[in-house]
Structure 1
Amino acid sequence: MKLTIKKWVTIGVSLLLAGTAVYFLIKIQPPISFYITFTWILLIASLLWIGSTLISRFLDKKLPWKEYVTARFFIQLGLTIIYSLFCVNTSYFLLKKLFTNDPPVWEQVLLTNIYGLLLILPTFSIYFGIHFLKAWKKSQLETERLQKEGMRSQLQALRNHLDPHFLFNNLNILSILIDKDQALSKQYLERFAEVYRIILQNEVSELITLKKELDFIKSYLYLIKIRFQDDINVDLNIEAHLKMKMVPPLSIQMLIENCIKHNAITETSPLAINIFTEDDEYLVVKNNLKPKKTGGNGKSSGLENIRNRYRYFTDKNLIIEQSTTHFIIKIPLLEIEEL
């Protein structure tokens, strides 16, 4: 067994204390009563430690702290006092009988019980305090673990919502293109497979760099251009030093999809989407506002999805601004040290 520095220090201190005790005992040469008293104290301490541990383990099964805090405290206190006084009195009578010829003195018995209580109560308080702190720390760690597991489950559910939504939209587009232009539909299918491969690569990622998200967006925009031709214009203007900041996967794609979903797109009035950064803290998606006559005022599940995912990583929220001519959404750019 390899000894750590902490164990070596413990062994060293123990040997030092033992050597000091032996030295003083040789020097002082105490009477036999000293050794009897010392043995009695050592016996009592050992019995109290063993008994308290057994009582605590027994009550852990019958009265867990989480469910019976008050009852557990008083029952354990009562049992510990009864057991401790039993040990004190039993050991007193045994030592009297085995090592002396004197009968028990009831005044000594009374004082022994009083001193025992005075020793037991603070000892129990210290023991309870240490036990409570350990239990509280364990409970906190367990709570944090469950929260993280819950967070991961919810994030996974949100990510699972993205893939089918994206898949069905593009399959619908593909089915339309097959009837119009088989060569173009084949090209679209190849690009769609490439885009979906990127989605699968980031399936387990809770956050990705802005650079990776933009690489995906460039491939995704190719699909958009095939479908809408010049009816949609997307301008990307992202500063290079911000590309290592983090965003939830597919967040920009969902914002672009949100623009397409809620706006009328025609050849005479194309949809213009500008994607840029603001104050090095937000990524902005801005589009000219041309709401559809029907279905344009409904609640966006895409925006709600992005908002929910951000809640797990930052207190910053999405910023939504709308004027008579433009609709703007700003999402926070995250850094590793913020998480």
Structure 2
Amino acid sequence: MFKLGTVPGSQMPGTLVQIEKIKPLKKNSIFWVGYRYIYILLLALYSYLNILFTEGDRIFGFDLNGLYLFSILLVIVILVWEGNRRIAQSIFRHGKRYFLEKFHPLVVHFFLSLVVVGLAAIIPVVAVIFILSLDFDNINLHTKLSLGFAFRINLFLNSINAIVFFMSQLKETQVEAEKFKKQSVEAQFEALRNQINPHFLFNSFNVLSNLVYKDPDTSSEFIQQLSKVYRYLLKYQEQKVVSVKEELEFLKSYIYLLSIRFEENLFIKNNLQPHIYELYIAPASLQLLIENAIKHNVVSIKKPLIIELFNEDKNYLVVKNNLQPKTIEGSSTSVGLKNISGRYRFISEKQVTVHKTEDTFFVKVPLIHIETK
């Protein structure tokens, strides 16, 4: 048990990576999908069966062997697919410089793909005419039909590509938003942690200035304990949690400083059960709660302040004190309690709770359970 009457106690530099409004087409394009030639073959087969089902092959005005028709469609799909892939590659490499500042890449891609559609429609028609030794009388009709097939395939591919593009953009935006959220949480936590700059430092220096000439031995011990306090604060400044055991070790030095200052007017009782010593709490939370109790209550010979530490099973650590508020206290900002409550919002699902009766005031902080191998 600690008993003072008998003791000889910024901001985080997290830079958000700016999300580009429009990203070039490449990695988020279907034209780079793995095994794309399988998809090309399946799309050609689907188009071929669709034409047979609708009897679209009769529009040519002559009997066209099924193998030739399928070959034409396969060539069209290959040319449209690979042409679009080249366009996406070009936009990825040079689009940011020339297009993306004014136009959306999908719009640029689609209009450029119309050139590919024209070439993809003409090449198979000319090839078939030469292979089958046909005349060029109906080349316009054949080209229009081929152009219709090519445009339909191109429209389908660009529609799927647009869906893939926007889904990819959405996923990247969600990842960046989650990254920003994490950085924001870390920054808020860092700001709260940096508030741990106890004002008792100034009181400690006042006590030390009086001790130096009156009692050099005690002043030397006082300096050593004060250094331990700040060594602890510096050591655990970057950590979110510390074990109860480590916090209690730190508290011994802090209590020693208080004992010199308040002598027999302040008592701190440690009634914590040993089985919770390996659990975790936020660094310096006990120090802040004790400091808060001293700040807001009278500490005198007539009205000694009694602070008790105990636990509720393995769920909460409680800091309780008899309530004897100062008559002239001024406006309280409750920085200490807000600080602890804010930090626990980041490290625990449970909340810090404050309870007040006519005679007592106590704060319950959650005990953190961390599994260790």
- TM-score tier (shorter): 0.7 to 0.9
- Compared with structure 1, are the counterparts of its residues 139 and 55 closer, same or farther at alpha carbon in structure 2 (3 Å cutoff)? same
Q: Which has the higher contact order (CA 8 A, sep 6+)?
A: 2
How far apart in 1 are the matches of 2:185 and 2:86? 42
Q: Say which is worse superposed, 274-283 or 138-147, in terms of deviation.
A: 138-147
Amino acid at match of 1:283: L
Q: Which residue of 2 aligns with 1:41?
A: 77
- AA aligned to 1:174 is L
CA RMSD of aligned residues (A): 3.1
Q: 1:194 aligns with which of 194, 214, 228?
A: 228
Identify unmatched segments of 5+ residues in structure 2. Answer: 1-33, 42-65
**Closer, same or farther in 2 for the Cα pair 1:293/1:241, shift >3 Å?**
same
Among 148, 164, 168, the alignment partner of 1:130 is 164
Query: Are the aligned partners of 1:207 and 1:249 in contact in 2 as well (CA < 8 Å)?
Result: yes
Q: Cα deviation per residue 1:150-179 (whole Å; 9 max; x = unaligned)?
A: 332332232222136353343233224335
1:298/1:122 CA distance change after superposition, 3 Å: same
Rounded to whole Å, the distance in 2 between the matches of 1:185 and 1:195 is 15
Deviation at 1:233?
1.1
The aligned counterpart of 1:91 is 120
> What CA deviation, in whole Å up to 9, does each residue of 1:209-257 have, x standing for no partner?
2222122112211222222222111111223332333221111100000
- Give the structure 2 partner of residue 6 of structure 1: none
Q: 1:285 aligns with which of 305, 313, 319?
A: 319
Instruction: Check conservation: 2:117, 2:150, Cα contact below 8 A.
Output: yes
Deviates more, 1:215-224 or 1:145-154: 145-154
CA contact (8 A) 1:263 1:296 kept: no
Q: Structure 1 residues 274, 165: CA separation in 2 closer, same or farther (over 3 Å shift)? A: same
Q: Is it true that 1:238 corresponds to 2:272 in the alignment?
A: yes
Report deviation, 1:36: 5.8
Distance 1:92 1:133, change over 3 A: closer
Residue 171 of structure 1 aligns with which residue? 205
Q: Tell me by how many angstroms 1:106 deviates.
A: 3.2
Verify the 8 A CA contact 1:242 1:280 in the aligned structure 2.
yes
Q: CA shift at 1:142, angstroms?
A: 1.9
Separation in 1 of the partners of 2:350 and 2:197?
25
Segments of 5+ residues of structure 1 without an aligned counterpart are 1-9, 18-29
1:160–1:80 Cα change, 3 Å? closer
Deviation at 1:53, TM superposition (A): 4.3
Over 3 Å counting, the alpha-carbon distance change for 1:165 and 1:158 in structure 2 is farther
Distance 1:244 1:48, change over 3 A: same
Calculate percent identity across the aligned residue pairs: 33
Tell me, yes or no, if structure 1 residue 212 matches structure 2 residue 241. no
Q: Whole-Å Cα distance in 1 between the matches of residues 119 and 258 of structure 2?
A: 89
Q: What letter matches 2:116 in structure 1?
A: C
Give the counterpart of 2:355 among 304, 321, 326: 321
Offset at 1:264?
0.8
Cα distance, 1:63 vs. partner? 4.6
Do the aligned residues in 2 keep the contact of 1:177 with 1:185 (CA within 8 Å)?
yes
Secondary structure of the residue aligned to 2:196 is helix
Task: Return the alpha-carbon distance in structure 1 between the equivalents of residues 210 and 340 of structure 2.
Answer: 29
Distance 2:171 2:110 in 1: 27
TM-score (ref. length: structure 1)? 0.78
Contact 1:89/1:109 (CA < 8 Å) preserved in 2?
A: no
Match of 1:82 in 2: 111
SS in 2 for 1:294: coil
The answer for the alignment partner of 2:258 in structure 1 is 224
Give 2:86's aligned amino acid: I
Q: Distance in 1 between matches of 2:207 and 2:339?
A: 23
